[in-house]
Amino acid sequence: MQIPTIVGAGLIVIGAGLGIGKIGGSAMDAIARQPEASGKIQTAMLIAAALIEGIGFAALFAS
Amino acid sequence: MVISKKPLHFIVATLVAFLPLVTVANPTNDTTAVAHTSVATETATEHHEGESKDLKTEIKEFINHHLQDSYDFHLFSYEDDAKVEHHIGFPLPVILWDNGLQLFSSSKFHHGESAAESNGNYYRLFHGKIYKVANADEQVAVDAKHHATNEKPFDFSITKNVFMMLVVSIIMFLLFTSLAKSYAKNGGIAKGAGRFFEPIILYIRDDIAIPNIGKNYKKYMSYLLTIFFFVWFLNIFGLTPLGVNVTGNIAITAGLALITYLITTFTANKNYWGHIFWMPGVPAPMKLVLAPIELLGTIIKPFSLMIRLYANIVAGHVVLMSIIGLMFIFKNWLGSSLSFVLAFALSLLEILVAALQAYIFTMLSALYFGAANEEHHHDDAHH
């Protein structure tokens, strides 16, 4: 039986969602520990989240 | 004084958030009215189901139509009492290169219903693209897969997207030249719109350009500021009732990403190329393996810029319009209120995404420029 590509895309989106969630959670932890560095942490968080998001979208459009 | 302005800001933000509702509500509203009258006359249930299926495809077509570029600036359509459809909008110039320059107004297509004639050549619209046909009565020929087989002339038309980009360019030019003049007049103190834009420009300089690029940041500032405001303004325009979808067009994001790629490539110093073709500090066999990967990486970076902006904007528009479309599928108080609340929340989110995507595009561009400009001062680190 052939597995439809949309299933693979769904798996990748689950992975991307988990990844972005992990980044957000860790950034929250980091900001709670060091509130004065929140600006730098946010920047780094957004870049990492954007890079993962790119993979998620690539999967969506490939399916 | 500052606090008293807050309610006003909130009202303006709320109004902007509601604007997309108006865009989508207008055309589909009429179709539901028609659907209602026909359902009232026909009591058979299976007819009702067929009607709702038609509505679903109609919403799908409406969304697809919105995502496409078009040759006329279409604002909304309505049906009058005699069931005649009226399109409100204005035509844009069509510029073709087909054995000489062909210049005519897109109103000649009559919204795709008839062929346009120019210097003895005939052109016809087919799925939003212009094809050449032999005479005024001929239709565009299609093959088995429903792809057109007719010849396509070279197309340099001022389409809706090109028109909106010109509008935004003019707005940006007037806005920022007037800002520069007001700074010169007031001795470097922000005034009027400058009070809004100064923190943003300083943020791009101090938090995006300087930390990522380093001491050579000045020559990239003009590009970073331009790309940030261009993408941001176009994203915001995509949320207005004009119904434009410029940054949600892959050709345009590809163009923007290509500029970033060209600037990165042509301003790169020898360390950048050294790290790509002959990575220092790794064994020689690994250098051979890494070179093609790094070379591919230079192309993947702008490619991901292109996909990210395009996909975010398209996804936002599709989800927003689908949620508004729920209102016309449910046709009861529950669906309407649900769709209203969801669309409101999502519109607020889309305003955030509009700024965030512009920021990410600028940030990653700065990051790539920084990588291309890195000085080789960590010699010890490679042992």
Choice among B14-28, B234-248, B284-298, B302-316 with the minimum mean pLDDT: B14-28
What dihedral angle (degrees, nearest 10) is formed by the CA atoms of B83, B84, B88, B94? 140
Confidence of residue B328 (pLDDT cuts 50, 70, 90): confident
Q: How far is the first Cα of chain B from the last one, in angstroms, to the nearest whole number?
A: 60
Tell me the average pLDDT across B148-168.
86
pTM of the predicted protein model: 0.79
Q: Show residues of chain A in contact with B304, CB under 8 Å.
A: 51, 54, 58
Residue B324 has pLDDT above 80, yes or no: yes
Name the DSSP letter for residue B146: S
What pLDDT shows up at residue B2?
44
Confidence of residue B379 (pLDDT cuts 50, 70, 90): low
What pLDDT shows up at residue B26?
43
Contact B256, B227 (CB under 8 A): yes
Q: Say if the Cβ atoms of A47 and B360 lie within 8 Å.
A: yes
Residue B148 has pLDDT above 70, yes or no: yes
Structural domain tally of chain A?
A: 1
What dihedral angle (degrees, nearest 10) is formed by the CA atoms of B18, B310, A20, B374? -130
Interface of B with A in 167-226 (CB under 8 A): 207
What pLDDT shows up at residue B14?
61
% of residues, chain B, pLDDT over 70 = 84
Query: In which region does residue B279 sit, left (phi positive, over 0), alpha (psi from -120 to 50) or beta (all else)?
Result: beta
Tell me the average pLDDT across B270-291.
86
What pLDDT shows up at residue B11?
61
The residue in chain B having the minimum alpha-carbon distance to the alpha carbon of residue A51 is: B304
Instruction: Look at strands B121-126 and B101-105 and give their pairing.
Output: unpaired
What pLDDT shows up at residue B22?
46
Confidence of residue A39 (pLDDT cuts 50, 70, 90): confident
The closest alpha carbon to B306, from B238, B250, B225, B262, belongs to: B250
C-alpha B122, offset from chain centre: 31
Tell me the two tokens of residue B124. 């016809």
Confidence of residue B37 (pLDDT cuts 50, 70, 90): very low
Which residue did the predictor score with more confidence, B58 or B369? Answer: B369
Choice among A29-33, B153-157, B376-380 with the minimum mean pLDDT: B376-380
What pLDDT shows up at residue B6?
60
What pLDDT shows up at residue B30?
41
What pLDDT shows up at residue B1?
42
% of residues, chain A, pLDDT over 90 = 37
Contact B117, B108 (CB under 8 A): yes
Domain that holds residue A16: 5-62
Query: At B37, which helix (H) or strand (E)?
Result: helix B6-41
Residue B211: how many other CB atoms lie within 10 Å: 14
The residue in chain A having the minimum alpha-carbon distance to the alpha carbon of residue B315 is: A57
% of residues, chain B, pLDDT over 90 = 27
d(CA B147, CA B141): 8
Residue B380 has pLDDT above 70, yes or no: no
d(CA B339, CA B327): 6
Confidence of residue B105 (pLDDT cuts 50, 70, 90): confident
Contact B78, B87 (CB under 8 A): no
Chain A nearest-CA distance from B311, in A, is 6
Spell out the residues 6+ positions from residue B100 whose beta carbon is closer than 8 angstroms to its own: B119
- CATH number of the domain where residue A35 is located: 1.20.20.10
Tell me the two tokens of residue A14. 């689950």
Tell me the two tokens of residue B19. 């604007």
d(CA B225, CA B273): 27
What pLDDT shows up at residue B35?
42
Nearest to B308 among A39, A43, A50 (CB): A50
Chain B nearest-CA distance from A59, in A, is 11
Specify which residues B375 forms β-bridges with.
none
In the predicted model, what is the mean pLDDT of chain B?
81
Confidence of residue B63 (pLDDT cuts 50, 70, 90): confident
Please write the tens of the pLDDT for every residue from B350-373. Answer: 999 899 999 999 999 999 999 898
Which residue did the predictor score with more confidence, B4 or B126? Answer: B126
Chain A nearest-CA distance from B79, in A, is 36
Please write the tens of the pLDDT for every residue from B205-256. Answer: 998 999 889 888 999 999 999 999 999 999 999 998 887 889 988 999 999 9
Residue B286 has pLDDT above 80, yes or no: yes
Chain A nearest-CA distance from B367, in A, is 10
The residue in chain A having the minimum alpha-carbon distance to the alpha carbon of residue B365 is: A47
Tell me the two tokens of residue A22. 């992990």
Contact B313, B321 (CB under 8 A): no
Q: Which 3 state secondary structure label does DSSP give B68?
A: coil
Confidence of residue B334 (pLDDT cuts 50, 70, 90): confident
Strand runs labelled E in chain A: none
Q: Which 3 state secondary structure label does DSSP give B316?
A: helix
* Residue corresponding to tokens 């949600």: B248
What pLDDT shows up at residue B269?
87
Contact A9, A17 (CB under 8 A): no
Contact B51, B39 (CB under 8 A): yes
